Chains A and B, each alone.
Chain A
Amino acid sequence: MRADLSIIKDWIEPQSRVLDLGCGDGSFLALLKEEKQIFDCGLDLDAENINKCLLAGVNVIEQDLDKGLANFSDNSFDSVLLTQTLQAVQKPDVLVDEMLRIGEKCIIIFPNFAYWRYRLYLVSKGRMPVSKSIPFEWYDTPNIHFCTIKDFDFLCSTKNIKVLNRTVVDDKHQNSSLMNIYPNLFGINAIYHISR
């Protein structure tokens, strides 16, 4: 299992209600069901992913995150997950608010755009960074709202969001002491556990 998912797995309580926004093929929810007997609910838009969820016996709802989450009631889930999707939605700040309305705790994983290689790429080449973890050209990328760890911290402080836990990992989802000292420079992916 991806190390970032193994980190957040520990943040999920057994028998809790988990909403996974952009749940992909449902494998993470399937794992949580198996190991923690959670109540699962995934959202996705991709037909192939949705079918894989059905095959895995994962509850999946075909729904566009950009059209909002008004159909989910306040505090109806224990945890709301958003992994590698924050940067691809139209209104990330509204989505974070909505996640915190629906879930008691939220887990967000996003790519840190201030990672030193991206900074160097932009400074030295003068072009938008393309890497193994962000393999898109500027015109065909699904990622439309890049942010950095500092940016997200700022968003949390302006919105009075509690950061329960923050971890940074590299593209192998490993953590190092350098990353812990300078997360915004050395972290490729940021993992936040937040609540109101």
Chain B
Amino acid sequence: MTSTIPKDSVGIVKPELIHFDEALTLRSGKVIESYDLMIECYGELNQDKSNAILICHALSGDHHAAGYHELEGKKDEKPGWWDTCIGPGKPFDSDIFFIVSLNNLGGCSGSTGPTTINPETGKAYGPDFPIITVRDWVNSQARLADHLEIDQWAAVIGGSLGGMQVLRWAISYPERIRHAIVIAAAPKLSAQNIAFNEVARQSITTDPDFHQGHYYEQGTYPKKGLTLARMIGHITYLSDSSMNEKFGKDSLTGGNFGRDLSTGKLNFGFDVDFQVESYLQYKGESFSSNFDANSYLLITKTLDYFDPAVDYEGDLSKAFLHGNCKFLVVSFSSDWRFPPERSRELVNTLLKAKRQVSYLEIESDGGHDAFLLPVPRYLEGLSSYLSVVANETFTNEKTSHAS
């Protein structure tokens, strides 16, 4: 080990690939005959299997939510994407809960997706991989719960697109979930959200290296397009104030047009002048080398298609008329991708459906990405809420052992 593992980390973790042979019929009508899901688990499942938590990831997330992977005998530098929340003593406490995280279908981190070989053709699915909806994901997650012999999750938790999966769980499997924690999400995308996704898709599909999605066979990938798509996305995950905080510190000196310069002077050309430009390019490029463009296209469509109200004459509250799970909804003040109004819309829908709901509106400059950041009031709120979930779990366990 090059560096020590923090005490509040779940430590070194190993993903596990689970194969499913039962065909999955998708919302589109298409069928996936068999598939694999890559998962990671933290903590121990208790005897009556009442302490399980499912973590649902957002656009670019995967199964690696916490702890460290081992790379060539060494601990990886970066922990999982939600390590701020998952671990011993953290809000999703791995000493108390059995936490399951997966890479969703259509992803590119080991689960069946566009990069998987299509058994019918012997080639990667590529652009022919069927469009997957949030409902399809949740159906596959329910199969995963069956596989793990978990009848009911103590809680299903997710931020952003992850929060949409939580909502779908509460609608499709109301009896299989006790608590739904929906963070920085929305009941459906706004026209502006879809517009940003479309720009991202256009930048990928117009890249000459895209080859209509068959770039694997060409030994290339649409690096420029995917970089650009991620740069656009990244801007929407941050806030104006957090970008100023990061890139406008030298503004007080007055000589830098209010923003930090990359090389200390203006170039009077079209190359990078400001740090924010090089930062975005770096972020975009490193993303493009780790993520599959077809998966990115697919998952932006998954986002666009999410609208559970369509099955209920446009009245989402009708979707929540059944079930007893409790809801915790959390939003962040500077999130302009899914701003607090969208979360309040959700809360009001749940109130209309006479459901039990708590709502936190967290003051933060972190933008949409605040849900991944260690914002003290946010973590405290999650811990408080989960402490009650934990108590119920133990009470259940005691009762069931006594009986």
Which residues of A does B touch, CB under 8 Å? 17, 39-41, 47, 50-51, 53-57, 59-63, 71-73, 76
Contacts and interface: CB of A to CB of B under 8 A. Distances in A.
A54 B358 CA distance: 8
Contact of B359 (A47, A51, A63): A63
Interface in B346-394: 347-348, 351-352, 354, 356-361, 377, 380-381, 384-385, 387-388, 391
Interface residues of B, number: 22
B348 A62 contact: no
B317 to A, nearest CB: 9
Given A54-B358, A61-B359, 11 more contacts: A17-B354, A41-B351, A41-B357, A54-B388, A55-B388, A56-B388, A59-B357, A59-B358, A71-B351, A73-B351, A76-B352
A54 B359 contact: no
A61 B358 contact: yes
Contacts of A55: 384, 387-388
A32 B253 CA distance: 59
B358 A60 contact: yes
B301 interface: no
B384 A54 contact: yes
Contacts of B385: 54
23 contacts: A17-B354, A39-B354, A40-B356, A41-B356, A41-B357, A50-B381, A51-B377, A51-B380, A54-B381, A54-B388, A55-B384, A55-B387, A56-B388, A59-B356, A59-B357, A59-B358, A60-B359, A61-B347, A61-B351, A61-B358, A62-B359, A71-B344, A71-B347
A76 B357 CA distance: 14
B318 interface: no
A39 B326 CA distance: 12
Nearest to B344: A71
B356 A51 contact: no
Contacts of A41: 351, 356-357
A55 B385 CA distance: 6
A40 B351 CA distance: 11
Nearest to A17: B354
Given A51-B384, A54-B385, A54-B388, A71 B360 contact: no
Contacts of B356: 39-41, 59
A124 to B, nearest CB: 45
B388 A72 contact: no
A29 to B, nearest CB: 12
Nearest to B317: A73
Given A39-B356, A71-B344, A71-B347, A59 B326 contact: yes
B173 to A, nearest CB: 22
A62 B359 CA distance: 6
Contacts of A17: 354
B360 A62 contact: yes
A45 to B, nearest CB: 10
Given A54-B384, A55-B384, A55-B388, A76 B358 contact: no
Contacts of B352: 73, 76
Given A61-B358, A62-B359, A51 B381 contact: yes
B388 A53 contact: no
Interface string B151-190: 0000000000000000000000000000000000000000
A40 B359 CA distance: 14
A66 B356 CA distance: 23
Nearest to B359: A61
A73 B358 CA distance: 17
A172 B56 CA distance: 51
Contacts of A40: 356
Contacts of B358: 53-54, 59-61
A137 B347 CA distance: 37
A57 B388 contact: yes
Given A55-B387, A71-B344, A62 B351 contact: no
Contacts of A51: 377, 380-381, 384
Given A71-B348, A72-B351, A62 B361 contact: yes
Contacts of A62: 359-361
A54 B329 CA distance: 12
